[in-house]
Structure 1
Amino acid sequence: MGIEIRQYRSGDATEAARIWNQVVDDGVAFPQEDDLTDTEADGFFSSQSYCAVAEDTETGRVVGLYILHPNNVGRCGHICNASYAVSRDVRGRHIGEKLVLDCLAKAKEKGFRILQFNAVVASNTHALHLYERLGFVRLGTVPGGYRLNDGTYEDIVLFYHTL
């Protein structure tokens, strides 16, 4: 499987929504609780500072995506935030790593100076290891900062990466 990271297009909305909703429904990474419709997805992904998809170059299928946007406004507007999603059926093939690396480059190109993650769920060990391997700095932990699908609470970890 060859992977190309490219800018999101409106025609990607259905596949992007499917992948995004998988992560929302898993309930162990994203703060959102409601699935996106195709129409909502296109508006959501198009409204970001940047949105990219990972496309399988052999099939043309979208298998992952990321969104990039400011983490705050005004005097903190140089700090961005991002979210990543990879289709369940292709996880473990380093697509997430390709998305993160592309995002770091795109964030710098967009004029951001820092990429900050506000809420990496502590049990998301694959994400934790990836971010640390790529040079993200762990800022600390918020005890019980994330509510799981079963109603229990889990710690979240904050990270940043200077661009």
Structure 2
Amino acid sequence: MLIREATAKDWHDIWPFFHQIVAAGETFTYPMDLGEHQGRDWWLLTSPDRTVVAVDDSGTVLGTAKMNRNHMGNAAHIASASYMVDPAHAGQGVGRALCEYTVEWARAAGYRAMQFNAVVETNVHAVNLYRSLGFEVLGTLPEGFRHPAKGYVGLHIMHRAL
């Protein structure tokens, strides 16, 4: 698997699984009816932020991540990231590889920590992955997310020092 900078051409391959994940409404705080153009604008970031794709040997996009500062001004030393793995490639280590990549990017870019603002507590695979990579749950916003099947569930704030 290769992780490389995403290009505008990659959006054609990202959009189908991005749309599927967002429309399911189970893991992202994006509107479930998010349109393609706005989704592209939100996901494909420009420098100094970054968006990458994980591809296999044939160039198939397996997943994607975006990396950015979490806040501005005097809090701009904290990074954040978001990840989407094509469900057709789940369980193959794509999410782990993307998360490890973003942590290294943030460290190399001089960030002091990484924080995820809204990890849905029922997204146990993501929570367990982040914990295995040194992230801790700092707190949980009770009923901060309306899951389409499980009702109101918590949103974790997760953090790790770099």
* Fold shared per TM-score above 0.5: yes
Match of residue 62 from structure 2: 63
- Structure 1 distance, partners of 2:78, 2:34, is 27
Identity of aligned residues (%): 31
- Match for 1:32: what amino acid? Y
CA contact (8 A) 1:143 1:155 kept: yes
Deviation, structure 1 residue 152: 2.6
User: Unaligned stretches of 5+ in structure 2?
Assistant: none
- Match for 1:84: what amino acid? Y
Q: TM-score, normalised by structure 2?
A: 0.90
- Structure 1 distance, partners of 2:123, 2:38, is 27
- Match for 1:8: what amino acid? A
CA contact (8 A) 1:70 1:81 kept: yes
Which 4+ stretches in 1 moved above 6 angstroms?
none
Is 149-158 or 18-27 further displaced after alignment? 149-158
Aligned residues: 159
SS at match of 1:126: helix
CA contact (8 A) 1:117 1:160 kept: yes
Is 47-56 or 89-98 further displaced after alignment? 47-56
SS at match of 1:46: coil
User: Unaligned stretches of 5+ in structure 1?
Assistant: none
Q: TM-score, normalised by structure 1?
A: 0.90
- Match for 1:14: what amino acid? H
- Structure 1 distance, partners of 2:100, 2:108, is 13
Deviation, structure 1 residue 105: 0.6
SS at match of 2:71: coil
- Match for 1:53: what amino acid? V
